[in-house]
Amino acid sequence: MSDHAKRSSKKRHKKLIKAGKSLENDFGVKLSAAPTKFVLLSNAGLVNGGLTSSILRALPESDNLHYDVVLHPDKTYAVVRCPNIEAASAVIENLDGSSSLDYLDGQPVHAGYLEGDIPDPDLQSSSLPSGLEIIENGLSPEDEAAWLKLCSFDDDSASCLLKNRLVEHFGYRFDYAINGVNRDDPLLEKPIPEPCTKFLKGLVHRGLMPESCFPNQLTVNRYEAGAGIPAHCDTHSMFSSCIVVVSLGADVVVNYRKDDTELSVLIPRRSVTLMQDESRYAWTHSIIPRKYDLIPSGSGAPLAVARGVRTSFTFRRVRSQEACDCSFPSLCDSRLKFSLDESDAAQLEKLHVHEVYENIASHFSDTRHSQWPKVVEFLNSLPDCSLVVDVGCGNGKNMLIKNREDLSFIGCDRSSGLLEICRRKNLQALQCDCLALPFRHAVFDAVICIAVIHHLSTSLRRRQAIEQLLSLLKKDGKLLISVWAFDQNLRGGSKYLKGGDPSTATARHACIRAGKAEVTLPVHTNRCAFSNSDVLVPWKKSENNDTQQRYYHVFDKGELRSLVQDIEGIELLDEYHDEGNWCIILKKTQQVLNEVET
Ligand SMILES: O=C(O)CCC(=O)C(=O)O
Ligand SMILES: [Fe+2]
Ligand SMILES: [Zn+2]
């Protein structure tokens, strides 16, 4: 051991050893007796108030030498990456035992070599949530100064309820008890200030914000240095699809979260944040209450910088009455919570699916002739002489596929009226329920189930139906399922939407009986966007004005797949949106034991 090494190992203070143990625990790197380029500082972490700049200030003066300070959240130590061993030794010489770190109030810091490097903190900021846009320098320094004078924070009673945060409202008072506003009580005497309105018009003019979202409510938040805001998603039912936040006074890091994904997004001072689509509807945002932020440095470890006083202007449009029509149900309070027990669900389907199709069979059949190209494509892909079941075959149109006389079909449906139509076409079809299929297991080459599963009124029943369909398949057999999609608007999507006014689309509800339960569901307006996952879709018989309500569960993106994701012995071959429907193609890859007939 060199003299130098001996000296530094002797000097090790028990505080340093403790910090070393903690770092070893975190990163598997030990203190080192021999000099290296990596120096551990005890007592100097973010927990102690350490910041990149204050640590850099305490390092020995030197031209051209670049030190990299590594600070991790919630730690009591810092690591300095030195350009070489000499520099590291100078750092230890200068800092070990010294009280020169200004934020430590005279307490000493201890310094020692580390065997090796530790990783940078992960900023989780490599990408932005989809739909989030940050316009840097969106406001000039002059405008910033002018905007900051628009608020007095005088008389807003909400301010005293909020932690280290003052608020002021314009247009409508934001009520923190309901996370919304009282639509009937606009702040007529306190509209959004003129300079803000002018700025918002500019956003519309530049095509950054749709006119239909032009804000009528403004919340100004003034955060003390270190204050935060809890994770939330601005209420869907209350505010429309574009939210604009102007950030003044200081940079801050905002955390966006969706399921298990968390992204830290640096929001610079004088920037404009536009939250639309997924970032608006499917992610929460929050500001962690803490005195520092970690921000990317370009090269080297992220910089730990002190928070300053920040003022944000959040602009939103209060919806009139229309429900949110987003396709992100997890945080959408416009979607009705709908749950039935199994027997009520069966009763609902009996009245609002089976009996309706019985009543409308011939009229329904008259409107159902064209075969869907993707269904034809699936059938055409099947091997010669395949045996196929069409569950929910309706009037049998799919079984009449051209140029595939080699395929053998068996159809089934709930509606005897529709089966009668099949029989007239000499098609083989029998009456049964898709939850009680009377077919032999594991003998069919293919199963199709088009526009059926969306008539089942619980997710358990939808899942059970799919399991039944799969049980019919032999190994390597394929299943095509198609269901109606909540989102009729996807690119290349449906011809179904006619651009009806969605605000009138959700106005009607109907109360129907489902066994013991009575449920109120939105009545869907033909060719308009869906307002809810569970809806009633009217069927108007042409001859009289008698309207029948059919129950539908319209599927979200990924919902069909998630129903089957933990079913074993299958492979997802394809998943696609086709003319307003979600479709999946599954292949059976192995036979489940109890399915094999003996
Ligand atoms: O201060 C911010 O950046 C966010 C404010 C916010 O999320 C809100 O007012 O809903
Ligand atoms: Fe918000
Ligand atoms: Zn929504």
ipTM of the modeled complex:
0.96
Q: How sure is the predictor about 60, in pLDDT bands with cuts at 50, 70 and 90?
A: confident
- Looking at the fold, whether 179 and 71 belong to one and the same domain comes out as no
Task: Say which residues have a Cβ less than 8 Å from residue 92's Cβ, sequence separation at least 6.
Answer: 8, 39, 111, 112, 113
On whether residue 438 sits in a domain, the answer given is: yes
Report yes or no: 174 and 181 within 8 Å, Cβ to Cβ: yes
Q: Which residues pair with 552 in a beta bridge?
A: 535
On whether residue 264 sits in a domain, the answer given is: yes
CA-closest residue to ligand 1 atom 10: 234
Q: Report the separation in Å between the CA atom of 278 and the middle of ligand 2, taken as the mean of its atom positions.
A: 14
pLDDT of residue 98: 86
Domain of 63, in residue numbers: 3-113
Question: Whole-prediction pTM value?
Answer: 0.70
In ligand 1, which atom is closest to the CA atom of 247? Answer: 3
Q: Using one digit for the tens of pLDDT, what is the confidence trace for 143-185?
A: 999 999 998 888 777 776 777 889 999 999 999 888 899 999 9
State the amino acid at position 75 in one-letter form. K
* Smallest-distance ligand from the CA of 228: 1
Chain centroid to CA 182: how far? 27
Ligand 1: does its nearest atom lie under 6 Å from the Cβ of 218? no
On whether residue 516 sits in a domain, the answer given is: no
- Looking at the fold, whether 474 and 374 belong to one and the same domain comes out as yes
Ligand 1: does its nearest atom lie under 6 Å from the Cβ of 531? no
On whether residue 494 sits in a domain, the answer given is: no
Angle at the Cα of 176 from the Cα atoms of 174 and 182, rounded to 5 degrees: 45
- Looking at the fold, whether 299 and 243 belong to one and the same domain comes out as yes
Joined tokens for residue 180? 């919304």
Ligand 1: does its nearest atom lie under 6 Å from the Cβ of 536? no
Q: Which of 296, 331, 366 is the last residue of a domain?
A: 331
- Looking at the fold, whether 352 and 321 belong to one and the same domain comes out as no
In ligand 1, which atom is closest to the CA atom of 285? Answer: 7
On whether residue 297 sits in a domain, the answer given is: yes
Q: Rounded CA gap, 174 and 128, in Å?
A: 28
Ligand 1: does its nearest atom lie under 6 Å from the Cβ of 229? yes
- Looking at the fold, whether 162 and 86 belong to one and the same domain comes out as no
Ligand 1: does its nearest atom lie under 6 Å from the Cβ of 314? yes
Q: How sure is the predictor about 73, in pLDDT bands with cuts at 50, 70 and 90?
A: very high
Helices (runs of H) and strands (runs of E) counted in the chain? 14, 29
Q: Report the separation in Å between the CA atom of 318 and the middle of ligand 2, taken as the mean of its atom positions.
A: 14
Q: Using one digit for the tens of pLDDT, what is the confidence trace for 512-551?
A: 888 888 888 889 988 888 888 999 999 887 666 678 899 9
Work out the burial of residue 492: count CB atoms within 10 Å of its CB; fewer than 13 is exposed, 13-18 middle, 19 or more buried: exposed
- Looking at the fold, whether 239 and 298 belong to one and the same domain comes out as yes
* Smallest-distance ligand from the CA of 245: 1
On whether residue 82 sits in a domain, the answer given is: yes
Please say if the pLDDT value at position 294 is more than 60: yes
Q: What is the CATH number of the domain that holds 155?
A: 2.60.120.1520
Ligand 1: does its nearest atom lie under 6 Å from the Cβ of 280? no
CA-closest residue to ligand 1 atom 9: 314
Q: Rounded CA gap, 229 and 70, in Å?
A: 27
- Looking at the fold, whether 159 and 306 belong to one and the same domain comes out as yes
Q: Which of 288, 312, 331 is the last residue of a domain?
A: 331
Q: Report the separation in Å between the CA atom of 244 and the middle of ligand 2, taken as the mean of its atom positions.
A: 10
Q: Rounded CA gap, 221 and 167, in Å?
A: 5
Ligand 1: does its nearest atom lie under 6 Å from the Cβ of 482? no
Q: What is the CATH number of the domain that holds 35?
A: 3.30.70.330
Q: Report the separation in Å between the CA atom of 233 and the middle of ligand 3, taken as the mean of its atom positions.
A: 10
Range name among 213-227, 359-373, 374-388 with the lowest pLDDT average: 359-373
On whether residue 325 sits in a domain, the answer given is: yes
Q: Which of 302, 331, 360 is the last residue of a domain?
A: 331
Number of domains in the chain: 3
- Looking at the fold, whether 302 and 234 belong to one and the same domain comes out as yes
Report yes or no: 535 and 510 within 8 Å, Cβ to Cβ: no
